[in-house]
Amino acid sequence: MKKSEFSFIDDIAKTFGALPHNGFEPIGDDCTVLDMGADALVISTDMLVEDVHFLRGASTAEEVGYKSLMVNLSDVAAMGATPTAVLLSLSLSEATQGEWVEGFMRGFYEGCKSYGVALVGGDTTASRDKVCINVVAIGRAPKANIKRRSAAKVGDVVCVTGRLGISSKGLVDIMFGDLDTAAAKAHRRAQARIVEGRWLGECEAVHAMMDVSDGVASDIKHIMEQSGVGAEIELTKIPADYDIRYATTGGEDYELLLTVAAERFDEVAEALYRDTGTTLTAIGVITADRELRWLENGVPSELELRGFTHF
Ligand code: ADP
Ligand code: MG
């Protein structure tokens, strides 16, 4: 029988979790962590498939290259680490082996150059039909800075960087043929919170952190499960410019979702804004009962909200 994406991952995490970990943290966070003494290395991988993650007709090759890097650096930032190196594997259809891949590499290069990330390996193959891109991202941070999904505490403020829902509204615009709305442009040119991730990593008041790749409705559940807690989210507080469903259930925002010690929240938000220009908005609170509750002006919401899953 076909399984859901999450139960498939849960099953392999269980089976392979029984094997030796060899010093690496097991499946379950944005990156695995390897203790290096004073510092830790963080490592993760993400794949982008043509017609699933991008449409060649709707994004330029440069945009796909830049985005392929950013979605991977986002997972490093989500650990509170600084991205240092990537490996890039490409499976290229006949139609993309010339000009297209050159454009792709220009976009990828631009991102690597902007953030001082080294490209240190990969693989190149032909593909019969669609382009497939896989990146392994490696980052580094002082061990004490690493932020895990498992560190949320009851009473913490749940908060997000930036604004949510823009990317998924952009995807809808693109589907309707509107490639140049502000949201469509934001969707095509993903931007990871690299500077903010490192900044928040240095901040002791930040407890759990992850990136928002599948929508808060789905992503908050990872923090709840890993931390053994619940959450109450106030829909009217979510920083959204479009329908609230984009902001809660739409994917690919690449903002950071984190929990902060309640008494420190105001100070952290103010300092983050002062140092990076990025807003941090409180959207809810961590609770003890392991349930996820959506409120609208303090009253339980009727909306059915579920994040994105591949299957
Ligand atoms: P993210 O959105 O940060 O990439 P996911 O929610 O996709 O994370 O995955 C959850 C966890 O499962 C992560 O720790 C990820 O590394 C792991 N994971 C996902 N797919 C696989 C797989 N095929 N094999 C091993 N680990 C996987
Ligand atoms: Mg992630």
Q: Which residue's CA is the nearest one to ligand 1's atom 11?
A: 28
Q: Is the dihedral of CA 202, 207, 208, 213 positive or negative?
A: negative
% of the chain at pLDDT higher than 70: 100
Q: How far is the CA of 5 from the centre of ligand 1 (A)?
A: 10
Q: Report the pLDDT averaged over residues 31-40.
A: 97
Which DSSP string do the residues of 172-201 spell out, in sequence order?
Answer: HHHHTT-TTSHHHHHHHS----HHHHHHHH
Q: Which residue's CA is the nearest one to ligand 1's atom 9?
A: 28
Please answer whether residues 133 and 45 qualify as being in contact, where contact means their C-beta atoms are separated by less than 8 angstroms.
no
pLDDT of residue 3: 84
Mode of pairing for the β-strands spanning 82-92 and 32-35: unpaired
Q: Which residue's CA is the nearest one to ligand 1's atom 8?
A: 30
Is residue 2 pLDDT above 90, yes or no?
Answer: no
pLDDT band per the 50, 70, 90 thresholds, residue 268: very high
Please answer whether residues 206 and 152 qualify as being in contact, where contact means their C-beta atoms are separated by less than 8 angstroms.
no
pLDDT of residue 217: 95
Q: How far is the CA of 28 from the centre of ligand 2 (A)?
A: 10
pLDDT of residue 53: 94
Structure tokens at 64: 């796909």
Residue 214 CA: nearest ligand 1 atom is: 2
Q: How far is the CA of 9 from the centre of ligand 2 (A)?
A: 14
Q: How far is CA 122 from CA 54, 81, 104, 110, in A?
A: 21, 22, 15, 18
Q: How far is the CA of 26 from the centre of ligand 2 (A)?
A: 15
The C-alpha atoms of residue 101 and residue 132 are separated, in whole angstroms, by 12
pLDDT of residue 308: 75
Q: Report the pLDDT averaged over residues 145-173.
A: 97
Is residue 194 pLDDT above 80, yes or no?
Answer: yes
Name all residues whose Cβ lies below 6 A of ligand 1: 9, 12, 27-30, 46, 75, 213
Q: Which residue's CA is the nearest one to ligand 1's atom 2?
A: 213
Nearest ligand to the CA atom of 255: 2
Q: Report the pLDDT averaged over residues 56-78.
A: 97
Q: Which residue's CA is the nearest one to ligand 1's atom 13?
A: 28
Q: Report the pLDDT averaged over residues 95-116.
A: 98
The C-alpha atoms of residue 213 and residue 309 are separated, in whole angstroms, by 10
Is residue 311 pLDDT above 80, yes or no?
Answer: no
To test the pocket of ligand 1, the residue of 16, 27, 220 to mutate (highest count of ligand atoms within 8 Å of its CB) is 27
Nearest ligand to the CA atom of 75: 2
Q: How far is the CA of 214 from the centre of ligand 2 (A)?
A: 9
pLDDT band per the 50, 70, 90 thresholds, residue 34: very high
For the ranges 121-125, 248-252, 270-274, the lowest mean pLDDT is seen at 248-252
Each residue's pLDDT tens digit, 75-100: 999 999 999 999 999 999 999 999 99
